[in-house]
Amino acid sequence: MSTTSPERPVRPQVPPSIFSPGLRSTSLGAAALISLFALEYIAVGAAMPTVAADLDGYHLYNMAFGATVAASVVGMVVGGWWSDRSGPRPVVLAGTGLFTAGLLVAGLAASMEVFVVGRGLQGLGSGLSTVALYVVIAQRIPDQRRPSVFSLLAAAWVVPGLAGPLLTGVVVERFTWHWVFLGVVPFVGVSVLVLRRALAGTRPGAGAPHLRPRTILWAVVAAVAVGALNLAGDSVDGFERAVGPVLLLLLLAASWHLLPAGTLTLGRGLPSVIGVRAAMGGSFLAAEAYLPLMLRDEHGYSPAQAGAVLAVASVAWALGSWAQGRLGESVDRYTLMRVGVTVFLALMVGLILAVALRWPGWSVVLLYGAATLGVGLAYPTTSLLTMRLSPEAEIGRNSSALQVGESLTGAVTLAVTGVVFGLFYASQPHAAFVGTLAVAVSVGAVSVLSAWRTRP
């Protein structure tokens, strides 16, 4: 009788770091592109007053933001299906090409109308590229190293968030606002060169379906509704009051067709993972929209001091994301996501209490910063679980749904908080701030409910 023990399967060797030779093209290239998208998204806010004055374009001020958000929704939907069908390489190249074209159009614009077109092209290009980058990560980065990559992507948002407004101010004052856009163009090319090796190793998803025309139609419907809500969300008078519910219904119908079946009813597994991301994103977006204003109005903070709440939150988010990236393979990611959203919701309840009882401004800054630490734990985990729960031929489509769901929920939440704020701010400003946070907490509660339904 043979005493030889059966051979044990050899476990594939996992690179020790996301900066190892086989992985660094993906990790560094993706982080570089995401940081440029983040920089343009954040920096334009600091440059817009100067742009509007120079181009006599105050009548299209909001549209300069709304066009980018709306076009990015179409880019996300098309980018997900296209990446599954043809592989992410042509999608990244098309997206970065459109983003670059948008930078050039906006940077060379001689009228506000042309500037808005450029901003729309930027949104379309960044939407295409961002979803495709998720597919690149899924194909090129082993599952064990993906938490570290998502931690790096969080840092790619934090640095522009901290330095972007200051850098933009210097460029506008010392040179001209045109260079806020034109100056980014060479860096897009460098980022694509860094990503080139990773793109060469990508592939189409086996058996991925074609993009259906009705999907594009619903993406356009969602984009138009999001753009309209960006323009009318802070008004409760006249036409906006009548059209608001119609826009919300259109977004609900579009979500039903664009998101995986069961998402709106929090079906178990992937639909609820998307639900966690959407509700959490809508909640912190609504809070961030009004906290700086509240600190200015009720605590006498200067603009720089009020902005500290966003800076502290950005650092805390990055810290939470870094922490989840350092955890080993033995950590149950479903449990980690529940912990993250629970921490977020509990501290958001503390935040609304602090605002309602007029606690000192520094307590508001610290509470919100601690709350976003929970977001840092849960947010990248939704990306990781989406990849784990998706067949290869659907990674692009489901990554698209993850981001589209967040965008649509954010638009709806901001519209609702805008109505609440508009109803109370003139007569009861304190009640207006408490009301907007109540909306944010209510949406955040949905993320906790969703988190308990994510395990298949």
Taking alpha carbons only, the member of 290, 272, 324, 317 closest to residue 447 is 272
Q: At what angle do helices 270-299 and 361-388 cross, to 10 degrees?
A: 160
Helix, coil or strand: residue 211: coil
Q: Give Cα separations from 225 to 1, 204, 244, 251, 397 (angstroms).
A: 74, 32, 9, 6, 21
Exposure letters 404-423 (e unless 16+ CB within 10 A, then b): bbbbbbbbbbbbbbbbbbbe
Matching CATH topology for 18-211 and 262-456? yes
pLDDT tens-digit map of 191-215: 999 999 999 988 887 666 667 788 8
Which residues have a Cβ under 8 Å from the Cβ of 1 and sit 6 or more positions away? none
Of 34, 124, 77, residue with least CA distance to 401: 77
Taking residue 80's Cβ as centre, other Cβ atoms within 10 Å add up to 32
Q: Do 347 and 367 touch, CB atoms closer than 8 A? A: yes
Max Cα separation, the chain?
Answer: 91
Residue 65 neighbours by CB under 8 Å, 6+ apart: 44, 45, 48, 119, 230
Q: How far apart are CA 418 and CA 104, in angstroms?
A: 33
H-helix segments, 2-60: 24-54
What gap in Å lies between CA 45 and CA 41, rounded to an integer? 8
Per-residue pLDDT of the chain (456 residues; tens, 9 = 90+): 444 444 444 455 667 788 888 888 999 999 999 999 988 877 777 787 788 888 888 777 777 877 888 889 899 999 988 998 889 999 999 999 999 999 999 999 999 999 999 999 999 999 999 999 999 999 999 988 899 999 898 888 877 777 776 677 778 778 888 888 999 999 999 999 999 999 998 888 766 666 778 888 989 898 888 877 766 654 445 555 667 788 888 888 999 988 999 999 999 999 999 999 999 999 988 888 888 888 888 998 887 677 778 888 888 998 999 999 888 777 899 999 999 999 999 999 999 999 999 999 999 999 999 999 999 999 999 999 999 999 888 888 899 999 999 989 988 888 888 888 888 888 898 999 999 999 999 999 999 999 999 998
pLDDT above 90 covers what percent of the chain?
48
**CATH class for the domain made up of 18-211:** mainly alpha
Are the beta carbons of 407 and 69 closer than 8 angstroms?
Answer: yes
Q: Which CATH class is domain 262-456?
A: mainly alpha
**Domain coordinates in residue numbering, the chain:** 18-211, 262-456
pLDDT number for residue 12: 55
